[in-house]
């Protein structure tokens, strides 16, 4: 599998609508699957070219075309020709660094989403762009890579459970968007567990590794925020859309997704604030530990100061020092040393300095 990355700089100087893939290539080949269904049954197949999708274009049933791997420009050109997609829409599909957005062209609605594809860790390069083209009786989903994100929807269509086979293409588009939003909850749940673990470490034994974990989670929340905040505008536009492609009966489902998006945003902002507070707690903990170390060292130095003074006196080389000739002078000095140290320790404890 190739992982070559193309940047926007390769498009410099090209006219608008020029089809150049921008992003990471996850597959050697583009995989196209077609799921055609109605209330009575369904047909599912893997096709090797867009031309094989032609019989489904004007079929009375609902058609879902899922394309995994959008690096092959020729496949996208055939898709655009068959379904009448504008060159600028095709350009946006191939530019995989788009922010979530929606465009209504009248004949179809184009939606861009960002998903983390069930990644256990959010980092640069783990997110992918999911493009959705909603037509009168078809939905086209275009993903950068294969994944399990949309498998529950496919299974619902196969089994005929729920209302998905009874409603139109707009409900299928809703189901895809809902799967993306629900995936954010899974990621937030994992982040919440990580935050609880770090909180325990902050109290018991904060280390440099703890700091690195906090910084990593802060970066994850930034990436999450960049993916979720624009999504709120997309869902809101779909909910208020007057397009004939979205039935009035489907608006309530988009409103439900909007509520979920708000919950994700609230959780994201809450976790960001918690992580910022945890960073302050970490710095305070490290400072307190340093203060404790300095306190112990200061107490030890203070105890030894008078002992060092006494040892310095009796270390002088004067000949006439009467104590040096005493039979029990050495023992007496040790008694003085120990008594001084014990008295100082008792004094420090009464002052609660140790």
Same domain, 127 and 205: yes
Does the pLDDT of residue 10 top 70, yes or no? no
pLDDT of 6: 57
Residue after which a domain boundary falls, among 284, 305, 331:
284
pLDDT value of position 117: 66
Query: Are 135 and 273 contained in the same domain?
Result: yes
Give me the pLDDT at residue 125, please: 53
Query: What's the N-to-C CA distance of the chain in angstroms?
Result: 63
Determine the pLDDT at residue 121: 60
Cα distances from 186 to residues 30, 231, 263, 293, in angstroms, run 28, 17, 13, 42
Tens digits of residue pLDDT in 256-282: 999 999 999 999 999 988 988 888 888
Mean pLDDT across the chain, nearest whole number? Answer: 84
pTM (predicted TM-score): 0.77
Residue 1: pLDDT over 50: no
Which of 44-58, 113-127, 225-239 is least confident? Answer: 113-127
Lookup result for tokens 């629900």: 182
Give the residue among 155, 160, 154 at the shortest CA–CA distance from 39.
160
Paired tokens of 229: 């905040």
Joined together, the tokens standing for residue 116 give 């983390």
Largest Cα–Cα distance in the chain? 120
Q: At what angle do helices 87-94 and 73-83 cross, to 10 degrees?
A: 150
Number of structural domains found in the chain: 2
Q: Are residues 166 and 314 in the same domain?
A: no
Percent of all residues in the chain with a pLDDT value above 70, rounded to a whole number: 92
Using 50, 70 and 90 to split pLDDT, how confident is the model at 122? low
Distance CA 123, CA 221 (A): 10
Say yes or no: 119 and 198 in one domain.
Answer: yes
257 plus 316 within the same structural domain:
no
Distance of CA 125 to the CA centre of its chain: 11
List, in order, residues 6 or more apart from 134 with CB less than 8 Å away: 108, 109, 110, 111, 169, 170, 173, 245, 246
pLDDT in tens, 20-39: 777 777 777 889 999 988 88
180 with 212, same domain: the answer is yes
Please check whether residue 225 is in contact with residue 100, taking contact to mean a CB–CB distance below 8 angstroms: no
Confidence at residue 2, expressed as pLDDT on a 0 to 100 scale: 46
Whether residues 266 and 316 fall in one domain: no
Cα 175 to Cα 217: distance, rounded to the nearest angstrom: 29
For residues 340 and 211, state if they share a domain.
no
Residue with the bigger pLDDT between 293 and 319: it is 293
Query: For residue range 170-220, what is the model confidence (pLDDT) as tens digits?
Result: 999 999 999 999 988 988 888 888 888 888 888 777 788 888 888 888 888
Q: What local confidence, expressed as pLDDT, does residue 220 receive?
A: 86
CB neighbour list of residue 343: distance below 8 Å, 6 or more residues apart: none
Contact 126, 119 (CB under 8 A): yes
**How large is the average pLDDT for residues 62-72?**
89
- Strand runs (DSSP E) across 240-316, as ranges? none
326 and 194: one domain?
A: no
- Predicted confidence at residue 149, as pLDDT, reads 85
Strands (E), the chain: 5-6, 23-24, 31-37, 42-47, 62-68, 101-104, 109-115, 128-134, 138-143
Residue 240 and residue 119 share a domain: yes
DSSP 147-184: -STTHHHHHHHHHT-TTTTTS-HHHHHHHHHHHHHHHH
For residue 250, give both structure tokens. 């489907």
Give the domain-ending residue among 237, 259, 284: 284
Residues 253 and 238: their CA atoms lie apart, in Å, by: 10
Q: ∠ CA(13), CA(9), CA(124), 5° rounding?
A: 150
Q: Which of 284, 302, 324 is the last residue of a domain?
A: 284
Alpha-carbon radius of gyration of the chain = 34
Neighbouring residues of 174: CB distance < 8 A, sequence distance ≥ 6: 250, 253, 254, 257
Same domain, 35 and 18: yes
Q: What is the pLDDT of residues 126-151, one digit of tens each?
A: 788 899 999 989 999 999 888 888 88
Same structural domain for residues 305 and 234? Answer: no
State both tokens at 178. 């809902």
- What is the domain extent for residue 306? 293-350
CB atoms closer than 10 angstroms to residue 214? 23
Query: What's the CATH code of the domain at 32?
Result: 3.30.460.20
Q: Does residue 337 surpass a pLDDT of 50?
A: yes
**Domain at 320, CATH number:** 1.20.58.340
């Amino acid at each position: 599998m190739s992982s070559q990355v193309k940047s926007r700089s390769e498009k410099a100087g090209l006219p608008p609508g020029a089809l150049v893939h921008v992003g990471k290539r996850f597959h050697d080949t583009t995989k196209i699957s077609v799921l055609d269904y109605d209330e009575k049954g369904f047909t599912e197949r893997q096709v090797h070219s867009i031309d094989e999708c032609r019989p489904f274009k004007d079929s009375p049933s609902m058609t879902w075309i899922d394309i995994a791997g959008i690096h092959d420009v020729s496949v996208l050109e055939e898709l655009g020709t068959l379904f009448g997609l504008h060159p600028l829409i095709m350009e946006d599909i191939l530019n995989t660094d788009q922010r979530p957005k929606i465009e209504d062209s009248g004949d179809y609605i184009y939606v861009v989403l960002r998903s983390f594809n069930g990644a256990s860790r959010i980092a640069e390069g783990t997110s992918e762009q999911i493009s959705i083209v909603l037509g009168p009786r078809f939905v086209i989903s275009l993903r950068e890579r294969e994944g399990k994100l949309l498998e529950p929807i496919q299974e619902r269509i196969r089994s005929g459970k729920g209302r998905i086979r009874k409603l139109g293409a707009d409900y299928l588009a809703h189901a895809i968007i809902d799967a993306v939003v629900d995936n954010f909850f899974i990621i937030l749940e994992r982040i919440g567990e990580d935050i609880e673990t770090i909180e325990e470490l902050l109290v018991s034994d904060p280390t440099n590794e703890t700091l690195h974990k906090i910084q990593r989670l802060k970066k994850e929340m930034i990436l999450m925020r960049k993916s979720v905040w624009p999504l709120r505008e997309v869902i809101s536009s779909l909910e208020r859309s007057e397009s004939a492609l979205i039935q009035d009966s489907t608006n309530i489902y988009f409103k439900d997704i909007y509520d979920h998006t708000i919950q994700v945003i609230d959780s994201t902002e809450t976790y960001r604030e918690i992580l910022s507070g945890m960073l302050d707690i970490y710095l305070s903990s490290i400072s307190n530990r340093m203060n404790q170390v300095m306190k112990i060292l200061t107490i030890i130095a203070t105890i030894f100061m008078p002992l060092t003074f006494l040892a310095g006196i009796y270390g002088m080389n004067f000949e006439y020092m009467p104590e040096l000739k005493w039979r029990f002078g050495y023992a007496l000095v040790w008694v003085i040393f120990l008594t001084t140290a014990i008295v100082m320790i008792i004094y420090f404890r009464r002052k609660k300095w140790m």
